[in-house]
């Protein structure tokens, strides 16, 4: 029989069990008895499958076999295995888990009978895992928030430039086209003057929803600043870009936005396109779209420029 000093075995803040080659328990310390509600008397001579009917840990079974046959110590990380035996935990909540997360070690132990046994040591890392999950969520939220506009929830200018750099690389590599639409709400100052900033904010939020409804999931809608927006449409040439802009123009004109009735809010749109025939940097693409937007504004607003592919200038 293998022997472990009881004063060590039962005072350490970790679980310790000794198992033989048939996975039967020969020692079960006080920590395990407390956490599993299985006394040592009840555990002795039983297999892990006997103690935990739903026990299923091929990695632990393999590790015990390696320790006993080859005397090769094994480590079972929480990241890969989560837990080796199912133990309920008191930690709950958003970042909690119903089962204790465990780091486990399996080491050889020579018994008085000349046989080799496996010493299973279990560390409770649930709190650490929960804390790490919470920190990761915060980090992801901060990253998401840094790329989002606070009012509309749309992507912001920072995201636009990061996305556009990568997308133009793909366009160049695979000979894809990319349409860029720059949109501006017409006479927006009048909206703010007549309905206050609260009414103006609601118009901007409703405008964003109307535009988004006209786009595909793969398209990118950005609040560029103030009442100005950018739409980026992958795999879309000049004809597709102009058609998309016309569709958005009609949808905005026909929608109730904030406190204003359909027809009271319009927008102007400039359309530019990246293609292998007319390659450009991201800055140049946005400048072309902005130039066409200016022409739409100067031409009376509530318009798309260019109106046709034939009128499209590179």
**Rounded Cα gap, residues 122 and 57, in angstroms:** 14
Helix residue ranges, H only, 47-176: 48-51, 58-70, 78-81, 126-146, 157-174
| CB environment 192-222: b (16+ within 10 A), e (fewer) | beebeeebbbbbbbbbbebbbebbeeebbbb
Residue 232 CA, chain-centre distance (Å), reads 22
Among residues 183, 128, 219, 140, the alpha carbon closest in space to that of 297 is found at: 183
C-alpha dist (Å) from residue 138 to 23, 50, 78, 96, 143: 42, 41, 21, 15, 9
Active centre residues (catalytic): 227
Alpha carbon distance 166, 185 (integer Å): 28
**Contact between residue 102 and residue 31 where contact means Cβ atoms under 8 Å apart:** no
């Amino acid at each position: 029989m293998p022997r472990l000093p009881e004063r060590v075995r039962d005072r350490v803040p970790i679980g310790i069990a000794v198992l033989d080659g048939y996975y039967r328990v020969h020692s079960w310390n006080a920590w395990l008895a407390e956490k599993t509600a299985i006394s040592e008397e009840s555990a002795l001579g039983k297999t892990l499958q006997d103690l935990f009917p739903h026990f299923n840990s091929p990695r632990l079974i393999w590790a015990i076999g390696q320790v006993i046959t080859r005397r090769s110590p094994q480590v079972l990380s929480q990241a890969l295995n989560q837990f080796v035996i199912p133990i309920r935990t008191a930690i709950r909540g958003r970042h909690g888990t119903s089962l204790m997360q465990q780091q486990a070690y399996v080491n050889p132990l020579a018994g008085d009978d000349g046989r080799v046994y496996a010493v299973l040591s279990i560390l409770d890392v649930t709190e650490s895992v929960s804390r790490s999950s919470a920190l990761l969520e915060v980090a992801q939220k901060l990253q998401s928030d840094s790329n989002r506009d606070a009012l509309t929830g749309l992507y912001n200018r920072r995201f636009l430039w990061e996305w556009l750099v990568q997308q133009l690389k793909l366009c160049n590599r695979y000979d894809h086209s990319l349409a860029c639409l720059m949109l501006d709400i017409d006479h927006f100052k009048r909206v703010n003057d007549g309905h206050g900033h609260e009414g103006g904010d609601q118009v901007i939020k409703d405008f964003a929803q109307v535009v988004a409804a006209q786009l595909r999931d793969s398209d990118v809608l950005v609040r560029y600043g103030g009442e100005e927006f950018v739409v980026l449409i992958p795999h879309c040439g000049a004809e597709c870009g102009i058609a998309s802009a016309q569709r958005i123009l009609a949808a905005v004109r026909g929608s109730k936005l904030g406190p204003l009735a359909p027809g009271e809010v319009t927008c102007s749109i400039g359309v530019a396109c990246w293609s292998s025939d007319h390659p450009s940097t991201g800055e140049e693409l946005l400048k072309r779209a902005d130039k066409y937007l200016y022409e739409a504004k100067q031409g009376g607003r509530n318009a798309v420029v260019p109106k046709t592919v034939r009128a499209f200038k590179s």
